[in-house]
Amino acid sequence: MGGKSGEREVSLKTGCNFMESLKRSGCTVASFDIDDQLIRNLQEYQAELVFLALHGKYGEDGTIQGMLEMMGLPYTGSGVLASALAMDKMMSKRIFAYENIPTPKGVCIHIRDLEKEDRGLIKERTLQKTGWPVVIKPLLEGSSLGVTIVRDPDDFWKAVEKAFQYDQIVLVEQFISGVEITVGVLGNNEPRALPVIEIVPVLGGFYDYESKYTIGGSDHIIPARIPQEVQELASKLAIHTHIVLGCRGYSRTDLIVDKEGVPFVLEVNTLPGMTETSLVPDAARAAGISFDELLLEIGRLALE
């Protein structure tokens, strides 16, 4: 838990929830932060299973997963490759496109591009591919950190610079107006979808960091107020993305449903938040699964 990404505070909250739940279930637990003593601590503790409560860089991108693989320790959530693919929003988009999974158009801008090319040309070339308006976000970051919806062309570079504070590569993505939904998925070889949740931000215009992690920052509506056939399609897409990326245990797919009722996959979270305001626990409760039961199921899937 913890880690070094911009999502450290969220990770600590998730980790504390994990600790309390596992203790209630009779498990012997210990918590470890990501520091230079981590490998030694894990070896000395002789853990039977590592519950990953990490988010963002070094925790959700395959880094910690690779270390645990080398140590021979089982862990919750997806493996190295699936974690890395899901974290890289552009790489996952390419996989979605290959699999005919609807996803908004996107173009990457590297910070080095600004040194080699005229900004006007970069902007023009980018918007020719994405259209207008756009969403600008760091390529390798989560929890909506550094994300801006840009409707005024004069704000384009301001939003890019904001995203560069979190990563050296930013994703400029086609903005699709519609209903924000998310679908949690549980399972390995035969994954199943949890109830579809509609997300209504209360504090801002979209589901940003503050809306996600402030109590009362957003409303989670279950079932989502969209037609049943759209809910079923969204669930199928979430299961499909879970499978094609090679996810294990659990994941959460974020989507936007446009005015025509078409769901577009935005991204997949391989270690979704598990705080008191998080979506996967809400979806599980709607399916009759308590938080404690959910964690035990995630642990069981990790040991399959």
Query: Which residues are part of the catalytic machinery?
Result: 7, 143, 213, 252, 254, 267, 269, 273
- HSE-CB of 175 using CA atoms within 13 angstroms: 15
Q: Judge whether 254 and 264 are in contact, CB under 8 Å.
A: no
Closest by alpha carbon to 270, among 241, 292, 231, 227?
A: 241
First and final C-alpha spacing in the chain: 23
Q: Is 249 buried (19+), middle (13-18) or exposed (0-12) by CB count in 10 A?
A: buried
Q: Judge whether 14 and 275 are in contact, CB under 8 Å.
A: yes
Phi, psi angles (nearest 5°) of residue 151 = -110, -25
Handedness of CA 286, 292, 295, 301 (dihedral sign): negative
Residue type, 209: Y
Q: Judge whether 54 and 65 are in contact, CB under 8 Å.
A: no
Those residues whose C-beta lies under 8 Å from the C-beta of residue 264, and which sit 6 or more positions away, are 102, 103, 104, 176, 255, 256, 257, 258
Could you tell me which residues are beta bridge partners of residue 149?
135
The continuous run of DSSP H or E covering 31 comes out as none
- HSE-CB of 59 using CA atoms within 13 angstroms: 31
